[in-house]
Amino acid sequence: MPRGSPRFREWLEMSERLCPRDEAEVVEAVRWAVSNGRTLDVAGSGSKAGLGRHIQTDATLELGGLFGVTLYEPEELVLSAKAGTTVAEIEALVAASKQMLAFEPMDFGPLLGVAPGGGTLGGLMACNLAGPRRPSAGAARDHALGIRAVSGRAEAFKAGGRVVKNVTGYDLPRGLAGSYGTLAAFTELTIKVLPRPETVETLLLLGLDPAAAAGAMSAAVGSYYDVSGAAYVPEAVAAAIPAVAGAGASVTALRLEGVAPSIRHRRGKLEEILRGRGTLSFLDAEASLAFWQAVRDVTPFAAFVTSPPRGEVGAAAAPGEGTGRAPSPSPRPLPVGERETHALWRVSVAPMAGPSIGAALAGLGARCLYDWAGGLVWVEMPGAEPQTAAVRAAVAAAGGGHATLIRASAAARAGEEVFQPLDPITGALIARMKNGFDPGRVLSPGRMYAGV
């Protein structure tokens, strides 16, 4: 139906799910919300709907209808796609040209009880996702070149460009990354892609305690031997990762990527550095890929699945195609067991402080997985209670950092500070950004912090 027509307005009034098909309809939907004092929960496929504070809005603005890769130039290492294009489609497309998303975005679906493969490019940037390669390659915001978006004022705008040298003015792509849809609704994004390593191996040290593992990882990532991933998995958690389940001990993993001769040389040098710290072993390319995907997606702490997930996501749309294919369906919830109710935290601290987080929470029965050489600690509590005071006290005792409540009941997410509490200066800055982009508090109000 024509935009702006009475029937279109009536559809907006009666629907709790607004599903625009292009940027102009996004503008129209937000304009309607502004004019009528309504609030909108900005979403892509809904795979990360459980992240952030639990909020109630008048309608959901679903951007999954904006799909398709609009530009892909492998020789220029650049890709543009509509915000509702799934990450799985994009990764399949660039993999065919032996390229990758270097920041290694995780799939939150299984952690939140949703089938894997449904996350979108817009959601990826809205949450500023990154995986084990984060310390060396950066996060999603570090690979953003340009955006198109609609603000809470119902104004379409663009920022950045399709090549780095054309990016001028305020760096809005980076500024809006990680805003969880509270400032603007992305409609199209341009990102950098990079060549994929020829092969990969993983050097393992078995049987270390967390403090010894942190020392070993520090020595490895501080060496000249280009370690692209460093993780520590306690024995009980490693048993849930098939690639290392047979180790029968804790696993300290160091990833080496590149051409095979270089990997062999660097692995030998690292073995010399680390010999005597623990039992040495390694994973070949196939096992390494499986292991690091499990670390990336924190699969040992995933919601318990009792039936297989849905089929694979379809092939990517060719560059320039944005119509003629139905949008990917929203990820369906997976059947889940008791473990879904266990609260889950994502804690970022100085790498050598990671073990102190696990030690402080061990008495509560928490289980941990350490990524980023110990700087990222995933903490699964023994039950549904987040035990926020204990987690934040552990972070403070470790010298400070950020603790984000990733999984908890809706009641807990509504009543707790899900994100790290803000100091007054940062809080005032965020409020000013909200006032600039969304003065009417239309877009996902309160998703990150109450009042904004």
- How much is the pLDDT for 306? 38
Look at residues 80, 281, 354 and name the one whose alpha carbon lies nearest to residue 193: 80
Q: Which residues pair with 345 in a beta bridge?
A: 379, 405
What does 79-134 look like in DSSP terms, one character per residue?
A: EEEETTSBHHHHHHHHHTTTEE-TT-----TGGGTB-TT--BHHHHHHTT---TTH
The pLDDT confidence band at residue 32, using thresholds 50, 70 and 90, is very high
- How much is the pLDDT for 2? 57
Distance CA 213, CA 351 (A): 11
Main-chain dihedrals φ then ψ at residue 2, nearest 5 degrees: -65, 140
- Percent of the chain whose pLDDT exceeds 70: 87
- How much is the pLDDT for 325? 36
Q: What's the pLDDT tens digit per position in 389-443?
A: 999 999 999 999 999 999 998 899 998 899 999 999 999 999 999 999 999 999 9
- How much is the pLDDT for 335? 45
- How much is the pLDDT for 317? 33
H or E, element range at 213: helix 210-221
The pLDDT confidence band at residue 197, using thresholds 50, 70 and 90, is very high
| Exposure on the CB side of residue 174, measured as CA atoms within 13 A | 9
- How much is the pLDDT for 451? 86
Q: What's the pLDDT tens digit per position in 234-256?
A: 999 999 999 999 999 999 999 99
Give me the sign of the Cα torsion angle 31, 51, 356, 228. negative
- How much is the pLDDT for 6? 57
- How much is the pLDDT for 143? 96
Helix (H, G, I), strand (E, B) or coil at 139: coil
Global pTM value: 0.89
- How much is the pLDDT for 162? 74
Average pLDDT over residues 183-187: 98
Give me the sign of the Cα torsion angle 73, 76, 79, 80. negative
Decide which of 312 and 290 is more confident. 290
- How much is the pLDDT for 327? 39
- Percent of the chain whose pLDDT exceeds 90: 82
Average pLDDT over residues 280-298: 97
- How much is the pLDDT for 108? 94
Look at residues 139, 92, 145, 131 and name the one whose alpha carbon lies nearest to residue 230: 131
The pLDDT confidence band at residue 324, using thresholds 50, 70 and 90, is very low
C-beta neighbour count of 358 within 10 angstroms = 23
- Strand 227-233 relative to strand 251-258, pairing: antiparallel
- How much is the pLDDT for 222? 95
Contact between residue 80 and residue 36 where contact means Cβ atoms under 8 Å apart: no
Q: Is the model's pLDDT at 319 over the cut of 90? A: no
CB neighbour burial string for 196-211, b if at least 16 within 10 angstroms, e if fewer: bbebbbbbbbbbbebe
Distance CA 434, CA 230 (A): 37
Helix axes 388-397, 354-362, angle to 10 degrees: 140
Q: What's the pLDDT tens digit per position in 83-132?
A: 999 999 999 999 999 999 999 999 999 999 888 999 999 999 999 999 99
Distance of CA 88 to the CA centre of its chain: 13
The pLDDT confidence band at residue 308, using thresholds 50, 70 and 90, is very low
Distance CA 295, CA 297 (A): 6
Q: Is the model's pLDDT at 230 over the cut of 90? A: yes
